[in-house]
């Protein structure tokens, strides 16, 4: 992907030096939707980085000042002009506005450079931080899907289904925020 720089973060493809940073927040994923990506050790993180490095859908978010990986985002293209987005950030960097800055830069890129007409995100009801980020970005909640998806099972092996919200934003609603 095209590298995108803001005042404090850089959005770019993943690189081998990101493995330790990725392991720091994927050893214990906070959002259930990332449980399947849980990493147990540095070797697993290195392998994961290799699979992400060549994908423009997987975006590394690093501090501009140090290059340290603080999170990741994704954007998946859907014909003809829609993108699904999501994010996962290291809790150690919460409360500084870095996720908002990175997500705003991604949306700006998708609307202005990639020609997106519509961008949407799925957010579990149990993830208030992502809900708040969607709202800070100007996304509107379009609905709640009851028992939409399961990421984990109960002790008996039965899926635990989660309610999931869909947030969205149209280019004409975006207004060129950068």
pLDDT by position in tens, the chain (length 178): 899 999 999 999 999 999 999 999 999 877 766 666 889 999 999 999 999 998 889 999 999 999 999 999 999 999 999 999 999 999 999 999 999 999 999 999 999 999 999 999 999 999 999 999 999 999 999 999 998 887 778 899 998 899 999 999 999 999 755 5
Structural Rg of the chain based on CA atoms: 16
Threshold 0.85, pTM exceeds:
yes
Query: Contact 4/11 with Cβ under 8 angstroms?
Result: yes
Q: At a CB cut-off of 8 Å and minimum separation 6, what does 132 contact?
A: none
At residue 78, what are phi and psi to the nearest 5 degrees?
-130, 125
Multiple choice CATH, 4-174, 3.30.1360.120, 1.10.275.10, 1.10.1060.10, 3.40.630.30: 3.40.630.30
Taking a C-beta distance cutoff of 8 angstroms, is the pair 90, 70 a contact? yes
């Amino acid at each position: 992907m095209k590298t995108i720089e803001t005042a404090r973060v850089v959005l770019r493809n993943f690189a081998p030096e990101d493995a330790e940073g990725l392991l720091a927040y994927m050893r214990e994923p906070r959002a259930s939707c990332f449980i399947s990506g849980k990493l147990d050790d540095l070797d697993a993180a290195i392998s994961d980085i290799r699979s992400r490095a060549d994908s423009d859908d997987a975006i590394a978010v690093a501090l501009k000042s140090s290059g340290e990986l603080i999170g990741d985002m994704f954007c998946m293209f859907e014909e003809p002009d829609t993108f699904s987005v999501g994010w996962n950030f290291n809790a150690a960097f919460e409360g500084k506005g870095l996720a908002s800055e990175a997500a705003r830069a991604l949306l700006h890129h998708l609307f202005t450079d990639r020609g997106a007409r519509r961008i949407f995100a799925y957010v579990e009801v149990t993830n208030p931080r992502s809900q708040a980020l969607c709202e800070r970005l100007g996304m509107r909640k379009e609905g709640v899907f009851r028992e939409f998806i399961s990421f984990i099972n109960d002790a008996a092996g039965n899926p635990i289904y989660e309610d999931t919200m869909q947030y969205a934003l149209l280019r004409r609603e975006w207004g060129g925020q950068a």
